Amino acid sequence: MNYDFDWSLVLSGQYLHWIIEGLKYSVCLMVLSSVLAVVIGVLVTFGTLSQNRVVRFIFESYIELCRNIPTLLWLLFFYYVFPELFPESITRELNASTSLNFWSAIAGLSLSSSGYISEIVRGGIMAVPKEQIAVSYSLGHSRLQIWRYVIWPQAIRNCFPPLVSRIIHNVKNTSLAMALSVHEIIWATQQIESITFRGLEVTIISTFFFLFINYIMAFSARLVEKRLMRSVN
C-alpha cells in the first residue's frame, strides 16, 4: 500500500470545522427522523387496525407508498416537488428558506421508515395470542385496559428487535441527505475529498462514526432486550 496518510490536513482549520458540523447535522438527522418515524409508524399502525374498511385502505396504501419508493426519491420529492404543490406565494416562501433541505431530509427519512415501522409494530400486536384478548374480555376488562396491560407490553417485546434494526437502517440512510446539500458527515467527506483529494482519511473518519453510532445502538438494544425478556421470566 503506497498511500501516504495525511491526517493533519483534514483535521485542521476549515476541514475539521466541516467534519464537526457534519457530525452534528448527522446526529440531528438521526435522532429527529428516527423519533418521528416511530411516532408516525405507531399512529399509522392504529389506522391499519381500524374496523372501517376505507380508513384501513388509506393507511395500508400509505404503508405501501412508503415501503415501495426508494428513500432517496422521497428526499428529492420533498425538496424539489413538495414546495411546488402549494399556491405560488407559499412556494416562493418555502423555496426561499435556507433550511428547506434539512427539513425535506427529515420528512423523507421519517416517512420512508414509518412504513416499515408500522408493519413491524402491527406484526408485534398481531402476534399477541387472540385467546388472551378473549379471556381478558370475558374477565370483564375494558378495551383500554386490555391494550394497556395485555396487548401493548407484549407487542413492544415482540417488535423491539426488528424495530432496532430498522432504526439502525434509518441511521445509515441519513447519509442520503447529502443529495440535498445538507452538510452532514458524508457531505463533509465528499466536500473535503473534492478540495484536498484526501478521500481515504475522511472516509475512514465517517466510516468509524457510523460504526460507532450503530454499535452503541445495537449494544444498548441488547441490554434493553435482556431486561424485557427477564420481565417475562
Partner 1 sequence: MKVITGKKIVSLMLGSAIAVGALTGCGANTEESVLDKVTKAGVIHVGTANNNPPMNYLDDDGNWTGFDVDLSQAIADELGVKLERVVVNNKTRISYLANGTVDMVVSNLSHTRSRDDEIDFVEPAYLWTGKIAYAKKGQFDELTDLAGKRIAVDQGSNAYIAIQQAIEEANGEAPDIQSFQSNAECFLALKQGKVDAFTQDSVIIAGVAGKEGVDYEAISGIYSPGLYSIGVPSNDSKWRDKLSYVLQDLMRNGKYDEIYEKWFGEDGMYPVDPSAKPVLNEKAFGEDELYVWPD
Q: Which residues bind partner 1 (CB under 8 A)?
A: 1-3, 80, 83-84, 92, 95-96, 98, 100-101, 178-179, 181, 187, 190-191, 193-197, 199-200, 203-204, 207-208, 211, 215, 222
Comparison of 39 and 81: residue with beta carbon closer to partner 1:
81
* Least Cβ distance, residue 222 to partner 1 (angstroms): 8
Quick one: cell of 205? 473518519
Residue among 2 and 233 whose Cβ is closer to partner 1: 2
Q: Which is nearer to partner 1, 38 or 202 (CB)?
A: 202
Question: Amino acid letter at 120?
Answer: I
DSSP 86: S
CB closer to partner 1, 133 vs 179: 179
CB of 172 to partner 1, least distance (A): 15
Nearest approach in angstroms of CB 42 to partner 1 is 25
Burial of 233 (0-12, 13-18, 19+ CB in 10 A): exposed
Query: What is d(CA 79, CA 221) in angstroms, rounded to the nearest whole number?
Result: 33
What's the CA gap between 224 and 25, in Å, rounded? 27
Counting other chains too, the contacts that 204-213 makes at CB distance below 8 Å and 24 or more residues apart are 205/10, 205/19, 206/22, 209/23, 209/26, 209/185, 210/171, 210/172, 210/175, 213/27, 213/30, 213/171
> How far apart are CB 197 and partner 1 at their closest, in Å?
5
3-state class (DSSP) for residue 28:
helix
Burial code (b: 16+ CB inside 10 Å, e: under 16) for 138-155 equals eeebeeeebbeebbeebb
Least separation in angstroms between residue 158's CB and partner 1 is 16
Q: Which is nearer to partner 1, 88 or 131 (CB)?
A: 88
Closest contact distance (angstroms) between CB of 227 and partner 1 is 15
C-alpha cell at 120: 413491524
- Based on CB atoms, which residue is closest to partner 1, 76 or 133? 76
